[in-house]
Each structure stands twice: as C-alpha cells, then as structure tokens.
C-alpha cells in the first residue's frame, strides 16, 4: 500500500497515458495509429529496458535484442505446440505469456551470470557474441524455428476472459495495458532504493562495494529484469505480427535499440521511448525517398553522437537547467545590488 501512495503521481500519469492510448486506438477508425503504436510498445519496451542497463547501471549491452527475440520465439513456439494449447485450452495465452517471460528471465540469468562480472568493453562485446550465438541457433534449428523464414503459419490466439486477441481492437488494448504496466514497473524500479543502488554502481562500483552492496548480485538482478521486460516487448511484437523472425535476434536490432536510447536521451526516464518513436518516424520518412536507409540512419547517428553529443530530451533538460541557473544567478545579482 505504501508503494501505491509513494508512486501515486506516477500511477496517475500511467492511467491517464493508458486512457489517451485507448482513446487514440478506439477513436480513430484507420488501423494505422494502432499498428504504429503497437510496434512502438514493442520497441519502446526493448529500448527502455535496455536503458535500465545502459543509463542507470552503466552496463553497455550490445546484445539486448537477444532477449527480445527469445521472448517472442518462446511465446510463439509455445502457442504453436498443439500439446500446449490442447492442455490449457482458453487459458493458453496467459499461461504462455507468463511461461515465455519466465523462460526469458532464466535465459538472461544464464547469460548475465557470465557477462556482468566483466567491465565495460568486455561486457559489450560478450553480450553481442551471445546474441549472435542465439541468432545462429535460430537460423540453424530449421525444424523448430523455421530458420531464416521465421515462425510461419501464424500464432493461434484463443480468446480468454472475454478478450479475443484475434480482434485488432482487443489486441491493441491488451498490448497497451501490458506496455503501461511494464513502464510503471520500470519507473518503480528506477525510483526505488534499488534504482539508486544501480546509479551508485554506475558512478562508482568500488565505492558501492565498500558500502556493502553486493555489486554482482545487483547487476545480475538488473540484467534479469531488463531481459525479462525486453522479452515482454518480443511477445507484443509476436502477437502483433503473428510470428517471430530471426532479424529480431540480429545484431542490428541491438544497435538500433542503443541508438533509440541515445537519440531520445539517456538520463530522462521516457527518453528511450521518445527515441523509439523518433527513429520509427525517421525510418518511415527516409523510406519514402530512398532505399538506402542505412546510410541516412548512419549519418544521423554520427550527427547525434559527434554533433549533439546527447539525446533530444537530455538536450532539453540541460537547456532547462541552464536557464534556471541563469535566472538564479541573475536574482542573486539583483539581491547584491540592493
């Protein structure tokens, strides 16, 4: 209950955001905003969960999309197994959802246990290496995963509790609720004492260790949490596309997620989400003019990283802080004159 009270402002914002999302989805009859927002839910969760590692803990993972793909594939494979849907009947979607998240958590615990003991650079390329391992497993296990074709034949969506995910409106509402709940969980994690422990580890891991923090354990818990939420993103995308595709596990997906964070802003909670929206729009716009999207995106990245040196919301925040400080300084000067 104290959690509810402490985070009442965030919970209120989340409820308003959910209502706005639902109003957009149900108020506009064209499917475009629903489809666009659903993909934002999926990639937004990928980017925001990655920022738990990068922005809050200082663990620069280059293989985060592995968990995204793992969640999507686990969910899809469970739902496609006739034995599974036969055993759980109408409850199979929620059961598969929970099972896929748990499986992703276990997978990220294994990878995390190996990776989080390493420092920055090693951590980055080991996570990349493990992601490429998963990618090659997905490509080579053709009988199970469909290889480079992805999970074909669609994912069955039996109705549960009156929710029929085959219906686009129901599906959109379901994904919006899942998304908002995950974002709220991340908000609570980052603003809790645990979240401040993460920041302390980012800023000075040795000091945290001296203060009695079990750095390895905290990092691992954060890694598992981030992996599981990325897995939820994968499940949303699997529901949306009614399949799962090996590109989700490809390294470029992780690079894209990192860029979303950088573009939106590392140090603002909703920065990665803004980055996901901005990159998605940028992609769509560039696609209208040229088929060589990668060159344009690459140049934009270079501009943001070498030119702006921070994300859009970081930029806005710094600007606000500067203005406030200038105002304070001016007030102080006025006080002196008097």
Does 160 bind other proteins (CB under 8 A)? Our answer is: no
Is there binding between residue 299 and other proteins (CB under 8 A)?
A: yes
Which of these segments, 9-17, 81-89, 114-122, 212-220, binds other proteins (CB under 8 A)? 114-122
Residue 270 in contact with other proteins, rule: CB under 8 A: no
Of 13 and 301, which CB lies nearer to other proteins in the complex structure? 301
Nearer to other proteins, 28 or 308 (CB): 308
Residues 43-62 that bind other proteins (CB under 8 A): 54, 58, 60, 62
Per-residue HEC secondary structure of the chain comes to CHHHHHCHHHHHHHHHHHHHHHHHHHHCCCCHHHHHHHHHHHHHHHHHHHHHHHHHHCCCCCCCHHHHHHHHHHHHHHHHCHHHHHHHHHHHHHHHHHHHHHHHHHHHHHHHHHHCCCCHHHHHHHHHHHHHHHHHHHHHCHHHHCHHHCCCCCCCCCCECCECCCCHHHHHHHHHHHHHHHHHHHHHHHHCHHHHHHHHHHHCHHHHHHCCCCHHHHHHHHHHHHHHHHHHHHHHHHHHHCCCCHHHHCHHHHHHHHHHHHHHCCCCCCHHHHHHHHHHHHHHHHHHHCCCHHHHHHHHHHHHHHHHCCCHHHHHHHHHHHHHHHHHHHHHHHHHHC
In the complex, least distance from residue 58 CB atom to other proteins, rounded to whole angstroms = 8
Q: Which is nearer to other proteins, 170 or 202 (CB)?
A: 202
Q: Which tokens hold the place of 59?
A: 């663990």
Q: Of the ranges 79-87, 121-129, 168-176, 186-194, which one interacts with other proteins (CB under 8 A)?
A: 121-129
Query: Can residue 118 be called a binding residue for other proteins (CB under 8 A)?
Result: yes
Instruction: State the minimum distance, in angstroms, from the CB of residue 17 to other proteins.
Output: 28
Q: Cα separation of 221 and 24, whole Å?
A: 36
CB burial string 151-185: b at 16+ within 10 A, e below: beeebebeebeeeebeeeeebbbbbbebbbebbbe
* Of positions 7, 133, 194, 216, contacts other proteins by CB under 8 A: 133
Based on the shown chain and the rule CB under 8 A, indicate whether residue 251 belongs to the binding site for other proteins: yes
Q: Nearest distance from residue 127's CB to other proteins, in Å?
A: 11
What's the gap between Cα 275 and its chain centre?
11
CB of 122 to other proteins, least distance (A): 6
Contact with other proteins (CB under 8 A): which of 100, 165, 258, 313? 258
Decide if residue 132 touches other proteins (CB under 8 A).
yes
Under the binding rule (CB under 8 A), the answer on residue 144 touching other proteins is: no
- Is residue 137 near other proteins by the rule CB under 8 A? yes
- Residue 226 lies near other proteins (rule: CB under 8 A): no
Which of 20, 28, 117, 154 contacts other proteins by CB under 8 A?
A: 117
Nearer to other proteins, 165 or 304 (CB): 304
Return residues touching other proteins (CB under 8 A): 54, 58, 60, 62, 114, 117-122, 124-126, 128-130, 132-133, 136-137, 140, 251-252, 255, 258-259, 262, 266, 292, 294-295, 297-299, 301-302, 305-306
């Amino acid at each position: 209950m104290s959690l509810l009270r402490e985070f009442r402002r965030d919970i209120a914002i989340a409820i308003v955001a959910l209502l706005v999302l639902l109003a957009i989805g149900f108020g506009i009859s064209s499917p475009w905003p629903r489809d666009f927002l659903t993909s934002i839910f999926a990639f937004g969760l990928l980017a925001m969960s990655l920022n738990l590692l990068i922005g809050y803990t200082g663990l620069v993972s280059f293989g985060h999309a592995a968990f995204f793909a793992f969640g999507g594939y686990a969910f899809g494979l469970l739902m496609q197994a006739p034995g599974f849907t036969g055993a759980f009947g109408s409850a199979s979607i929620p059961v598969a959802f929970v099972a896929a998240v748990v499986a992703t958590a276990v997978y990220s615990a294994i990878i995390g246990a190996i990776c989080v003991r390493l420092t920055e650079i090693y951590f980055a390329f080991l996570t990349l290496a493990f992601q490429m391992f998963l990618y090659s497993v997905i490509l080579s296990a053709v009988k199970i995963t469909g290889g480079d074709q992805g999970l074909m034949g669609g994912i069955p969506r039996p109705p549960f509790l009156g929710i029929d995910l085959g219906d686009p409106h129901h599906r959109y509402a379901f994904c919006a609720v899942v998304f908002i709940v995950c974002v709220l969980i991340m908000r609570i994690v980052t603003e809790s004492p645990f979240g401040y422990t993460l920041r302390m580890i980012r800023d000075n891991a040795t000091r945290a260790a001296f203060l009695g923090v079990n750095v390895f354990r905290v990092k691992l818990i954060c890694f598992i949490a981030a992996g599981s939420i990325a897995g939820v993103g994968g499940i949303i995308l699997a529901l949306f596309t009614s399949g799962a595709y090996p590109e989700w596990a490809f390294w470029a997906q992780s690079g894209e997620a990192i860029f979303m964070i950088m573009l939106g802003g590392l140090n603002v909670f909703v920065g990665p989400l803004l980055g996901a929206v901005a990159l998605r729009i940028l992609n769509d716009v560039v696609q209208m003019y040229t088929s060589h999207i990668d060159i344009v995106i690459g140049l934009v990245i270079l501009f943001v990283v070498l030119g702006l040196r921070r994300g859009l919301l970081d930029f806005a925040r710094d600007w606000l802080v500067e203005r406030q400080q200038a105002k304070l300084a001016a007030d102080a000067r006025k006080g002196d004159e008097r």
